[in-house]
Structure 1
Amino acid sequence: MSQPKAMNLRFPDPGQRAAIEAAARQEGVSLQEYILSAAYTRATAVEARFLDAFRASVSRSGEAFAEAAGTAGPDAERRAAELAARHGLEEQRERGHAA
């Protein structure tokens, strides 16, 4: 198996490279390790923000569906009246066919 290649670190701005190198030295790590660590930290922060927003969205959706289900469904009396009316119509229909 071949050896892994080193990261190609090119910085168009020499000042940017110097600042990152200084930060890596201050942390006591290599330039590659510092950049990878920063990238990982940023990626996990983005992931955490996404998951927080997703959980909030799920919560809002759940509340909206619960609210809609509570207001859209007929109450017990109305449902009983609908069933009685349907039963009455079916009886009339059966009498009509019998005649």
Structure 2
Amino acid sequence: MSQPKAMNLRFPDPAQRAAIEAAARQAGVSLQEYILSAAYDRATAVEARYLEAFRASMSRSGDAFTEGAGAADPSQERRAVELAARQEIEGQENRGHAA
């Protein structure tokens, strides 16, 4: 197995490199460690925002399904009326076939 390659830390802007090196020195870590931890912090922040938005979306969806549940599960009176109407329609159809 080949050895892993070191990170290529080239910066097109020398001022940017100097600022990052100064921040790494101030944090007491290597330049590579500073960049990797910054990338990790950024990725976890994005993940946290995504999960927060996902939870909010799930909550809104759950609320919508809860509101719609009343329409999907009608009351006993409504079911009785619908059943009576269905029986009446089926009764009319049966009488029509017998004639």
Q: CA RMSD in A?
A: 1.8
Partner of residue 69, structure 2: 69
Q: For structure 1, which runs of at least 5 residues remain unmatched after alignment?
A: none
Amino acid at match of 2:20: I
Q: Cα deviation per residue 1:26-78 (whole Å; 9 max; x = unaligned)?
A: 11111001000000000000000000000000100110121122246533212
TM (norm. structure 2) is 0.85
Unmatched segments (≥5 aa) in structure 2: none
TM-score normalised to the size of structure 1? 0.85
1:30-69 matched pairs, under 5 angstroms: 30-69=30-69
Q: SS state of the match for residue 49, structure 1? A: helix
Q: Any idea what the Cα deviations from partners look like across 1:13-34, whole Å, max 9, x if unmatched? A: 1111011001111111110010
